[in-house]
Structure 1
Amino acid sequence: MMQFKLTIIAIALFGGSLFAAAAPIDFSAQDYLQARDDFNDEVELVARWGSGKYVVDDNTYHRSLKPAIIKAFNGHDSKFTSKCGSNPDFMVDRKGMVYPEPQKSKSSSCPKNKFTLDLGSLIQSFQAPSRSPSPARSPSPGRK
């Protein structure tokens, strides 16, 4: 059976003095795989688009949300694609205002002040339900 050796380093602060200790730990490949799977189940490491309460994973953004954003902008201005390109990057601010960041060749014809839409509710409709309570997603008692 294959054995792994892992060294755990612990750093502690006691009374203003810094102490460090290292302890080797032996465990089997099966133990390693189990620990890795447990970690991956507990910690979701996914690429994300957006910020604050307007965050979705990259897969949802590229496959579902971005086409919906492009459709909303095309509905707002029929010349959106010709002015900003067929696949611009989009940014969202903390208020849910979405605006395109076009390629440099289109930047002069696609100004932020002309192409900004409030799409916060659209973004939130694509968010996966939270696995734990989050103040950003649930109103506090007394707020509507």
Structure 2
Amino acid sequence: MNMINIICKYQEWLTDNLTIKLISNNKKEQVYSIVTPCMNMDNDFIEIYIKVLNFNRIVITDDKNSISRLTMQGLNDENKMLLLKKIVASNDFYVTNDFCIEKEIDYSDKEMLGYYIQKLVSIMLQAESLLLI
């Protein structure tokens, strides 16, 4: 099988298995929910959010899902939280004061959105691995 065909089939599968919903639309922002075909340790599909702010900035966020879930499952260890923050920072995201994992980009960089969506999904999966150590 041709590698280009394999990649095309993967892209087709990914497109067919993503769910995108507009969940808020007002003068200040549009918020989209993206449910990915990737599953977390609870076999739930990973959901992320895209906020388009005045068609000027875009925020890619987990809306507190990762750290909230990890805290509920016992990730209260200070060293593991430091590891989590290193994972987040090494992927060019940050943890907000209210425990969202986010990345803000300029609207002119919107063609990079898929890249950052994949990065956030990867961060969320890596974060769950901290429960195993």
Greater RCO (CA < 8 Å, at least 6 residues apart): 2
Same fold (TM over 0.5): no
TM-score by length of 1: 0.26
TM-score by length of 2: 0.28
Which is greater in Rg? 1
Q: Which has the higher helix share?
A: 2
